[in-house]
Amino acid sequence: MLTVLLVLSACADPPGPAPEQPRPPSAWTYTPEADPAPPLTVAELEQGLDEVVDALVTTRPTTVTDLFDEAMTHRGDDCPASEENGAQTMVAGDCTTDDGWSWYGVGAVSHLRNFHVVLGEIDNFHYVWHFSTGNVQVIAADGRVRYELLGTTWYRDYEGDTGRALSIELWGEFQGIGTPTFDDTWIVEDRAVELYVELQTVSGGWEGTWSAGMSRLPGVVWAFSFGELAVSAACAEEPTGALELQDQAGTWHTVVFDGDTECDGCGVAWVGDTEIGAVCADLSPLVEFEVDPWEG
């Protein structure tokens, strides 16, 4: 009998697997990428081009040297350390004045008017020469007034080979907070700038090139960039060259102008290899002026 029971036991089905325990939820979740934002429309690009022109002609380069001059009014007897070299004043900070103004960094600022400058390749009579460079912060004791000058600006209004000429360089991060004189200027905005302008007078007016890039703009365009955009009074409303515009979603658009052949005030817009269409804008403020593009 015992033998029969052992045989029956050996032939019985083995026990099944233990029931599977539920797994704990994963700490990771999958979020599908959102569909890319559509490119700007023709109307939006035209508005964006107007914003580009407005940004260019409101970013007055000499506002930077004006801000530097204003900061210099808050120097103490020995703070910051300073040195005069002709028309140029150099400062070195990391100190606090008796009036509580804190100075940090190093920089230089200079001004000349009606002076023949010989410097390297420069050998010209200059009507106006403004220059500043460095990394300078100046902060009031209560922190309500602040000057930040990181970069370089160089404004030259001089007598060139064909007559009056302008050579402009501006790049960096600049901001002036708490001084009413600058409240209505671009320098109170959070704007990164890079700008190079070379213009000269010819028989028909001004001509030359603009190269620029700016970012952190508040409108349709968040940033823009272009190099060697040729402008001429012969076709003031349309330059020759391409502009890159980035919208607030991060998409770059290219607008190509051919003012040297068509001169109709309109360019062709693209996103990558996709053509959007013709966009029209008035870029004449870049070449039609009496004093300069910022003073008009």
Tens of pLDDT, residues 41-81: 999 999 999 999 999 999 999 999 999 999 999 999 999 99
pLDDT of residue 13: 56
Please state the rounded mean pLDDT for residues 143-148.
95
The answer to whether residue 279 scores a pLDDT higher than 70 is yes
Res. 204 pLDDT band, cuts 50 70 90: confident
Q: Which helix (H) or strand (E) holds 54?
A: helix 42-58
| Cα–Cα dist 187/67, whole Å | 9
CA distances from 242 to 116, 230, 238, 245, 270 (A): 36, 10, 11, 10, 11
Mean pLDDT of 268-288: 96
Beta bridge partners of 221: 247
pLDDT tens-digit map of 103-130 = 999 999 999 999 999 999 999 999 999 9
| 70 vs 67: CA distance, rounded Å | 5
CA dihedral 178, 180, 183, 185 (to 10 degrees): -120
pLDDT for res 250: 96
- Does residue 80 have a cis peptide bond before it, meaning omega lies within 30 degrees of 0? yes
Average pLDDT over residues 208-215: 98
With pLDDT > 70 as the criterion, what percentage of the chain qualifies?
92
Predicted pLDDT at 36:
74
In whole angstroms, give the CA distance from residue 103 to residue 278: 51
User: In this predicted structure, what is the pLDDT of residue 29?
Assistant: 73
